[in-house]
Chain A
């Protein structure tokens, strides 16, 4: 009997909320008050983080690679833009959901093309779909505004209560809340039996099928969910910037996203969020040094990360915060033990 309890306890341990996680979200919330002159870049980090979370769900957990994730971002962005321009759905949260669902439909339909092949064919198919959508958006410029983008996007107050302000404070809080809610959902999914079966499929699809896991159905499901996340990220982008132009579908956007996930690390959810923050800071720092050559430095960082190994880089960067946390938790458990013995 004790071994069943052991089995249950060990399984539950994986989903336990850690000190590091609490610290991460406290810092994110504190940035609302401490970095009030940086709302625009913080908002970008939030939607980029959500977009990266979307890619991490398929790449880090299910092992599906994509060079065309901007397809879903773009659909979400244009859906949110068109809903606002034509006044179809004025309330931003509802529009956000509809934009996510539009991307989800596209994700479901295209998943059957993507999941059947090898990694190389996945790269080609995802890339092809994104390019195709970009050309379609260009072709139907009377709807999408072509290269100039959608004109006259005005976003109504959130829930009819909170109007977007020119400093971007409401926009940032809104993006952060959406990110947090969808992060919690993603966390639930990856720590469930469904999430474990995805990791099994990534590890060994042959064996996964041989123990009765419906491999194809699971991959279709997570690809569809991932498309929803990317669509919401695109809609957040449009709602907070009032922009939707062809570059939402661009290859650079998909490729940058892959960089973000590689920088932060795949397969633990926070990788995408940390990657988004690091990527935007690097982009900001490098482009203020050398406006023309910032991509050179980003490239250099990427090569260093791959050569040194992300683990070593992270260990270096996280050394100090880890020490502080260890010190704290040691003291906390010390007092707890002292309390129980007395």
Chain B
């Protein structure tokens, strides 16, 4: 079993507050792995540690067996680790076309070209068009992102992450806040992610987790409480206790 992503004894403290405790995760290549846990369990901190927004106080992060813990955020993206955000982090003034274009140009190494007008590279244009089509964004590709319906913005959030061609994708609550009517598009987009991309899903929505994941890790107070297949986790007494309240298992 080759591992796409692995953490070994990951630690993070904010002052006296221990938010990640000796966290060791193993995510095999091609997996659909979910990381769940109650509010405040430290799920978003884990994503920030993995992507390099935060520096860990201890432990190692391995992406396809090489240690990335000392790399910058953008260097990790170039290595093939990409993420979406729980709260949309998009460019309000830019269009979906420009947003996707940035990610594509940057990946192909053309992002720093200052002597060339936008839209003059056929390879970049073709890939932008393919991404927009795949996420049903062609019809709004030239509208400023801030004016798009929330569901479209949510799709763009995933489309941008995919446009960096990740080997490992971290999905941070992709369906958060999406109205019921637009939910189907998001779930379809998540289900249609290419099989060769390893996905780590952070999610509150248990329906989505159990329909999508083949393996689940449960995080409580920054430490791993349980890990296993969806069935095993669903039967776990400690997990039930955490989700249903103290003493429910007694």
Interface residues of A (CB under 8 A from B): 3-12, 14-15, 188-189, 191-197, 199-200, 203-204, 206-215, 217-218, 221
Contacts and interface: CB of A to CB of B under 8 A. Distances in A.
Interface stretch (B90-98, B210-218, B227-235): B90-98
B89 A210 contact: yes
A210 B163 CA distance: 12
A211 B164 contact: yes
B106 interface: yes
Given A188-B114, A193-B112, A211-B103, A199 B74 contact: no
Given A7-B132, A203-B92, A218-B112, A197 B102 contact: yes
B39 to A, nearest CB: 22
Interface of B: 51, 53, 72-74, 77-78, 82-83, 85, 89-94, 97-99, 101-103, 105-107, 110-120, 122, 125-126, 128-129, 132-133, 138, 141-142, 160-161, 163-164
Contacts of B111: 193-194, 197, 212-213
Contacts of B101: 7, 11, 193, 196
Contacts of B106: 197, 211-213
B155 to A, nearest CB: 15
A208 B164 CA distance: 12
Contacts of A215: 74
B169 to A, nearest CB: 12
Nearest to A11: B119
B90 A207 contact: yes
A307 B8 CA distance: 56
B74 A7 contact: no
Contacts of A197: 102, 105-106, 111-112
A204 B91 contact: yes
A211 B90 CA distance: 11
Given A11-B101, A203-B94, A209 B74 contact: yes
A12 to B, nearest CB: 4
B51 A11 contact: no
Contacts of B94: 196, 199-200, 203
A209 B99 CA distance: 13
Contacts of A9: 119
A214 to B, nearest CB: 5
Contacts of B90: 203-204, 207
Contacts, number: 146
A212 B116 contact: no
**Interface of chain A: mostly helix, strand, loop or mixed:** helix
A165 B72 CA distance: 56
B51 A210 contact: yes
B114 A211 contact: no
Nearest to A211: B103
Contacts of B92: 203-204
A10 B161 CA distance: 22
B102 A200 contact: yes
Pairs A-B, 4 closest by C-beta atoms:
A11-B119, A212-B77, A203-B91, A194-B114
Contact of B97 (A7, A188, A191, A218): A7
Contacts of B117: 11-12, 15, 188, 191-192
A192 B103 contact: no
17 contacts: A7-B125, A7-B126, A8-B120, A8-B125, A10-B119, A11-B119, A11-B125, A12-B119, A14-B118, A188-B115, A191-B117, A193-B114, A196-B101, A209-B73, A212-B74, A212-B111, A215-B74
Nearest to A6: B129
Contacts of A189: 114
A217 B75 CA distance: 13
Task: Pick from A189, A197, A211, A218 the residue with the most CB of B within 10 Å.
Answer: A211
B113 A212 contact: no
Contacts of B103: 211-212
A15 B118 contact: yes
A4 B116 contact: no
B53 to A, nearest CB: 8
B100 to A, nearest CB: 9
Given A4-B122, A4-B125, A207 B89 contact: yes
Which has the most chain A C-beta neighbours within 10 Å: B83, B85, B91?
B91
A9 to B, nearest CB: 7
Given A200-B91, A211-B160, A3 B138 contact: yes
Given A203-B92, A207-B89, A4 B129 contact: yes
B62 to A, nearest CB: 20
B118 A3 contact: no
